[in-house]
Chain A
Amino acid sequence: MMDTNILIVDDEAHIRLLIEQALEELEDEGATIMTAENGLDALEMIKDHCPALVFLDVMMPQMNGFDVCNTVKNDWGFKDIYIVMLTAKGQEFDKQRGEAAGADLYMTKPFDPDELLQKAIEVMRQ
């Protein structure tokens, strides 16, 4: 798990902080957790740091999560990056759109911190 990067993308600071906190024990194993607050920054960071795992909010200003995912997976061909789309409870996640964009999984906020961590550990181990 050493030297793997994990990127958290959400326009809401408290969600970024919470996910960061939920994943903190991965940092002890050498993972670096990075954050981005919009889709454009996220693309830049993905290009520069090539994270193994991205938690990606769907609803964001400027560039939404589907478009970010589509760019990474389809336009750039970074198929190995595991992308978890985060969707708010009550919002119907557009599964078709997520699939077309190449998302690997989607989770509903408020998320279960332990499930999130478990998922991250699984992905890191692969």
Chain B
Amino acid sequence: MNVVEKVGLNRLLEIAQAERLLADFRKIAPESQVALLRLDGRLYAGEAGLLEGVTWETLVEEIERLENGQAITRAGAKVYPLWVGKMLVGALAAAEPASGDHLTFLLDFLKYHLAQAFEKREMARETLDRYREINLLYHIGETIGACLEPDEIPHLVLKEAQRVIPASVRLVLQPPKEGGELEIKAAVDEVGYQENLTRAARTLLSQVSRSGQPDILVDGLLDNSPFGSILCAPIKARERMLGIVLLGRLAGQAVFTASDEKLLMALAGQAGIAIEKAWLHHQEIKRQRMEEELSIGRKIQLSLLPDACPEIPDWEFAVAYQAAQQVGGDYYDYFVLPETGNLGLVIADVTGKGVPAALMMAFSRAIMRAESLSGKRPSAVLNRVNRLILEDSRSRLFLTGLYAILDPKTGRLTYSNGGHEQPMLYRRAENKCQVLSSRGFMLGAFTDIQMEEYSAEIAPGDQLIMFTDGITEARNSEGELFSDERLREVVDAHGSSSAAELLSEIVRAVNEFVGDHPQADDFTLLLVKRSG
């Protein structure tokens, strides 16, 4: 730890140089006795024995009051103070007969030399500070800059700060992530005064937090505080306050300087960047982990969808499914119903997107399957599904769903609609598409609802189109909807094609319409054609 510094002769004039100077003086004034004395009265160069018996402490007090060139006489010798600016650096003692012009010349020369040496020393000190700054930044780059643990950085900051700005108590304070009062995140307390420091710096801390500028407190904290100076610098990243570095030096130790403040700012600036970088790194890892989890979720979700279309003579099936995010809320299903051998068809859309919708989809698929396979009629299945969702789901998500039973032998379709898009039926006989009118409540939203049940005949050549709103509500860059009309137009134009061909025509038309506009919603398209 530095102490309050006094610059002495030894810092400004080498002993050998001083001895040479006095030897030269004696050449021109051979009878004279001269000596250079340090601030503590010890002989620095020249004659020993001058001022013998003189009490140095009182002498210093007296010569401190003298101007340059003035002297007081003690023990037969004149004592001249040696000043550099306002700083006493030593004294020259000269015993009679050393006097007159020669002595004046010696004093002038010393004065000039000491002033020059002092100036050089100050420049060297300044340069050393720059060296320290460069070295600090270099070290920070290697330590703090390479640290990816946000909680580790405050400790590194204190370690690096101690290398260049030693202090008895060192703290890094940061606000909690959720906001609020500053908390100590790293502390080094060599003297047991940590609490005194935070108490003494309370006003300074709030001032630095507000202004975002560093500050030094020297005066006004001496009462009841063991600290002589406090240095405080904000840790910022892009003008956002991330914390504060607080250093305290005890009374009697060197006070913090503007240069210390500058160094600490350089350190705090790098720390801010490092903390932000570490946070971003953590967020990126979290994001990657979430992506991985979503990717697993997507695989699970896809495994819940039928892996192949049913194969029933005289019937064609085609499906397109695309989630807007990794996982989605749309789903479709088909299964052969026991006993009758009829085919159950489901298409549904959970409100919302992403993970919550996907979980709801898995839940509703399970109960829809369980209820359907028990052989209930479509309306009974949807009534029951509605009740089960209301009872079991606290997620406040709803779904729209259409459940249909197809008798492949007769082409009879019985269906019930829980608030879903009304399906369309392409009639080959009319070469035109009609909407299969069907209404019903959204599932999971209302208690005690009774679903309606509808039926339709699918004749050979006819084609049933079931879809989610991701098709008809797909938007282009102008914000226009693809709409039921556009879907109908495509079906009218290509309804006589195979199920697979019509499917690809609809998907192509939607994609063309949407263009580069990102897909906002999941979409599902399920086509059933009676081919023979």
Contact A114 B11 (CB under 8 A): no
Given contacts A110-B131, A110-B134, A113-B135, contact A21 B125 (CB under 8 A): yes
Cβ-based interface call for A1 (8 A)? no
Report B-chain residues with C-beta under 8 Å of the C-beta of A114.
Answer: 132, 135, 163-164
Report A-chain residues with C-beta under 8 Å of the C-beta of B10.
Answer: 27, 32
Report B-chain residues with C-beta under 8 Å of the C-beta of A27.
Answer: 10-11
Report A-chain residues with C-beta under 8 Å of the C-beta of B15.
Answer: 32
* Complex: A25 Cα to B2 Cα, angstroms: 8
Q: A16: nearest residue on chain B (CB-CB)?
A: B124
**A1-36 residues at the B interface, CB under 8 angstroms:** 14, 17-18, 20-22, 24-25, 27, 32, 34-35
Contact sample, A vs B, 15 pairs, CB 8 Å cutoff: A14-B124, A17-B121, A18-B127, A18-B128, A18-B131, A24-B11, A25-B2, A32-B15, A110-B131, A111-B131, A112-B131, A112-B132, A113-B132, A113-B135, A114-B135
**A72-126 residues at the B interface, CB under 8 angstroms:** 110-115
Given contacts A21-B128, A22-B128, contact A112 B135 (CB under 8 A): yes
Contact mask A39-82 → B, CB, 8 Å, 1/0?
Answer: 00000000000000000000000000000000000000000000
Residues of A at the B interface (CB closer than 8 Å) are: 14, 17-18, 20-22, 24-25, 27, 32, 34-35, 110-115
Contact A21 B135 (CB under 8 A): no
Contact B128 A34 (CB under 8 A): no
Cβ-based interface call for B14 (8 A)? yes
Report B-chain residues with C-beta under 8 Å of the C-beta of A34.
Answer: 14, 16
Report B-chain residues with C-beta under 8 Å of the C-beta of A21.
Answer: 121, 124-125, 127-128
* Complex: A35 Cα to B14 Cα, angstroms: 9
Report B-chain residues with C-beta under 8 Å of the C-beta of A115.
Answer: 135
Report A-chain residues with C-beta under 8 Å of the C-beta of B14.
Answer: 34-35
Q: B123: nearest residue on chain A (CB-CB)?
A: A17
A52 to chain B, nearest CB (A): 17
B95 to chain A, nearest CB (A): 27
A111 to chain B, nearest CB (A): 8
Report A-chain residues with C-beta under 8 Å of the C-beta of B135.
Answer: 112-115
B165 to chain A, nearest CB (A): 11
